[in-house]
Amino acid sequence: MMENHLVKPDSRNCKRPREVEPEMPDSPLLSSHEKSDSPFSDYSGLFHKDLTLEKELNDTSKEINLMFFTYAKILSERAALDASYINEIDGLFKEATTIENFLIQKRELLRQRLTVIANTLHK
């Protein structure tokens, strides 16, 4: 009966000796596990933020491309309009040159007739 008294009460109820059990909750190994869980949640938050940012950038890029397309279309239309104005002005210059040549010919014919009339009156 005395033998039972000599056995420590802790070792009787435990499956393994107390020295082997890790009792340090603040050990570097545990804190590194705890720290690794936290950054993963941070990374998932960052990943979500990155996806949101990427979506915003894609949407913004689409809007900018649409504005560039619209601006390019307007510039193209203006260039076509300007070209049509240039063609119209060229046509007007050609018509004015034709009218000017016609009037020069008419003036020469009129001068010749007046010269004939003047010569006839002087005789």
How many domains does the chain contain in total?
1
Within a domain: residue 4? no
When comparing pLDDT for 26 and 110, which is higher? Answer: 110
31, pLDDT greater than 90: no
Within a domain: residue 88? yes
Within a domain: residue 49? no
Q: What is the pLDDT of residues 82-99, one digit of tens each?
A: 999 999 999 999 999 999
Phi, psi of 16 (to 5 degrees): -135, 160
Within a domain: residue 109? yes
Within a domain: residue 23? no
Within a domain: residue 38? no
Residue 73: what residue type?
K
Phi, psi of 30 (to 5 degrees): -70, -40
Within a domain: residue 117? yes
**What domain range is 123 assigned to?**
70-123
CA atoms within 13 A on the CB side of 117: 6
Q: What is the pTM of this model?
A: 0.43
